[in-house]
Chains A and B, each alone.
Chain A
Amino acid sequence: MSVPLHAGTDHCAGPERGEITPALERQAEELVARYPVSKRSAVLPLLHLWQETFGYIGPRGVEWIAQKLSLQEIQVLELVTFYPWFRQRPYGKFHFRVCRTLPCALGGSGKTFAALKNLLQLKGDAQEGALVSEDGFFSLEYSECLASCGTAPVVLCNDDFHEKVDEKRAAELVSACR
C-alpha cells in the first residue's frame, strides 16, 4: 500500500469547486482503511485532505466527507468549527502563522507579527482570526506554541517551519514568496 503524502500547499488557494479526481478518491479510501474499527475516525484525515486540496472547507467538502463516512453533515461541520487548523474561507497562497505563546513572545514574536502585518499591508484585528490580503496572495494569523520554543520566535509559512524569525528575517521570507 502506498503511503499518501499530500501536504500540497501550492494548491492552498484553490477554489472549493475544483474537481474531485479519482486520485483524491483513492487517497480518501486509503485513509479510511486505516480505521477498521470505525470509519468515523477518518473525519480528521479527510478534512486535512480536503483542505490541502481545495484550500479550505466549505459546504461541498462537508457533504462529501459526511457521505463517504455515512455521517450527518453536522458531525463533520462541528469538527471544522472546533479545530483551529481548519478554515471555512480561503486564505492566502502564502499563509503565515506566528507563534505568540510566552517563550516566543519573550523572544520578540510580537515584533515579528507587527513586521509581517506591515510588510503584507494587512488591515484589521488579528484577534478576530486570520487576516487575508485583498489579492489573496498573503494571509497571517497568530498561532499557539509550535513546539520549537528554543529557537524563538517561530513562524510557519504554509508547511515550512522557520526559526528565529526577527523583523529582518521576516522581510526576507516575504520577498522569497514574491
Chain B
Amino acid sequence: MAIREHRLVFKHIDALGYTRDIDCYLKHGGYEMLKKGFAMGGAAIREEVKKSQLRGRGGAGFPTGTKWSFIDPAKVTKPIYLICNADESEPGTFKDRQIIYKDPHQLIEGMILSCFANGVKLAYLYIRCEFTEGWKILEKALGEARSHGFLGKNILKSGYDLEIHVHRGAGAYICGEETGLIESLEGKRAYPRIKPPYFPAVLGLYMCPTIVNNVETLCNVKHIVEMGGEAYAKIGRPNNTGTRLLCVSGDVVKPGYYEFPCGALTMGELIHDVCGGIRNGGKLKAVIPGGSSAKVLRAGETYKIKEKGPDGNLVEKEVKLEDLRMDFDTLASAGSMAGSGGVIVMDQTRDMVECLANISTFYAHESCGQCTPCREGVLWMKKILARIAEGHGREDDPNMLKEVADRIAGRTICAFGEAASWPVQSFIGKFKEEFSLRIRRNGTAAKRDTVSLTH
C-alpha cells in the first residue's frame, strides 16, 4: 500500500533543479505571499493563523494563534521581538535542517509575515552553531532578501521596517528551551527563566514581549496566508491540523524525513510502508515517537484512546501501537507525545538497558545545572544506568532509578526535568524485566555490545 506524502513545507525540498538562491525561489512564486499578507494587514493574518489551529512544531504543540494573541501590537508600548528557534537539537529530529539548507527563503518569508503580523521590527534567527553551512546559507539568503527590498526599511513600500539577524548558539541543547534561548541571545549562560513571571510574551528578550516559534511553525504561516486558515485547517484532523514533518531514524530500512497530513497515517504505516519496515528483516521492539524526551512505546502494547466519534461525542477505543495515528492528541493519549516529530525505532536485538543508558548520558551532559533535582538527578540516573550496563547493577537499581526520575519531574525551572525523566520512567516501567535480568546476570551480560551504545 502506498501512502502518498502531502508536501507543503517540503514541497521543493530535494526537487530536481530546485536551488536555494532567491532567483529560484522567486521563479516558484516566492515572496508573493508577502505582498498578499501586507495587503491583508497584520490583524487579518493573526486571525487566519488562529482559524488554522496551527500548533507549534518545536515540541510542546502549543497553538500558535493563541501564543500570538497574548501580545496585542496595538496596545504594547515596548518593542516586540520575534525569535525563530532553529536550535534543532532534540535527538532524533532533523527536519528544520532540511528547510534551512535547501529552502531558506521559505523560512524567511514565513518569518517576515509573522513579524509583520505581530508588529515586530527586529527579529533574530537562533541557529545551532553545528549548522555552520546552514548559518552561511541563511546569511546569504538574508542578504539576498535585503537587496530585493524584502527586509530593511519600508519593505515593498508598505512603510513597514524589519531587520532579521542570525545568531549562532554554541553547542548547548538547553538553548532550544525558549527562555534559555533568550538568555543565550542576551549574551549569558543559557539558564532557563522561571515562569511565572518570565513568560516570553510578557518578559522575553530584553524584558520585552517576545514570540518564539520553531522553523517549521513559521514556514506554515506562509502557507496559511496562501490558502487561508479555514482551508489549512481542513488538512489533517480536528485540533491536529496541517501537515507534520516526521523524521525517522534507527532500525528501519529507509530512515529519512517525510511530510504527511497530521494524523493521516499510523505508526505501523510509517514504519512498515513508508520506511520499508525494520532493517535486516528484524522485528519492531520499541519506538520513541517524538524525540528522545518522549516516552517510549513498546511493540505489542495497546492503548485506550479517546476519540471524537462522528456524532461529536468522545468514544474510547482500544488501539494497538501500529494503529496509533501520528498526531498530537493520539500520541498524548497513548501516554507519550508527538513532540518534535523525531521517531526513533529500535528492533528486537536492541538492549533496552543500553538504549536508556545512552539517552541518560545525553541528558546528564546537557542539564544547565540551575536546579538541584535536575543537576544531581540526571547525573545519578546516568551513573546508575552505566553501572547496570557495565555489569555492576544492584537489585534495587530499577526502583531507585524510578524514584530519582519521579523526584525530578515537576520540580524544576524548565521542562528539561521532564524531558530527562520521561525516558527513564517509561523504559523502566515497560521493560523492567530486562533491567532485572541484566542485573541478575551481572558480569556476563556486560560482555555484550556496551561499546556501541554507552560511551
Residues of A within 8 A of B (CB): 3, 5, 7, 34-38, 40-45, 47-48, 69, 75, 78-79, 82-86, 97, 100-103, 105-111, 113-114, 126-127, 142-152, 156, 159, 161
Contact = CB atoms under 8 A, between A and B. Distances in A.
Interface in B360-407: 361-362, 365-366
Contact of B187 (A40, A48, A108, A148): A40
Nearest to B184: A44
A147 B451 contact: no
Nearest to B255: A150
Contacts of A82: 172, 189-190
Interface stretch (B22-30, B42-50, B126-134, B304-312): B126-134
A86 B362 contact: no
Interface of B: 79, 88-94, 96-97, 122, 128-133, 135-136, 139-140, 142-143, 165, 167-173, 184-190, 206, 247-251, 255-257, 292, 342, 344, 346, 350, 355, 358-359, 361-362, 365-366, 451-453, 455
A7 B132 contact: yes
Max chain A Cβ within 10 angstroms of own Cβ: one of B165, B185, B187: B187
Contact of B91 (A35, A41, A109, A145): A145
Contact of A150 (B247, B358, B365): B247
A147 to B, nearest CB: 5
Given A35-B165, A75-B187, A83-B190, 6 more contacts: A44-B170, A102-B358, A111-B452, A144-B173, A145-B89, A152-B255
Given A106-B250, A146-B130, A114 B451 contact: yes
A114 B450 CA distance: 13
Max chain B Cβ within 10 angstroms of own Cβ: one of A7, A43, A100, A152: A100
A46 B248 CA distance: 36
B54 to A, nearest CB: 23
A85 B131 contact: no
Given A150-B249, A150-B256, A144 B366 contact: yes
A7 B136 contact: yes
A127 B247 CA distance: 29
A122 to B, nearest CB: 14
A48 B355 contact: no
Contact of B247 (A48, A111, A149): A149
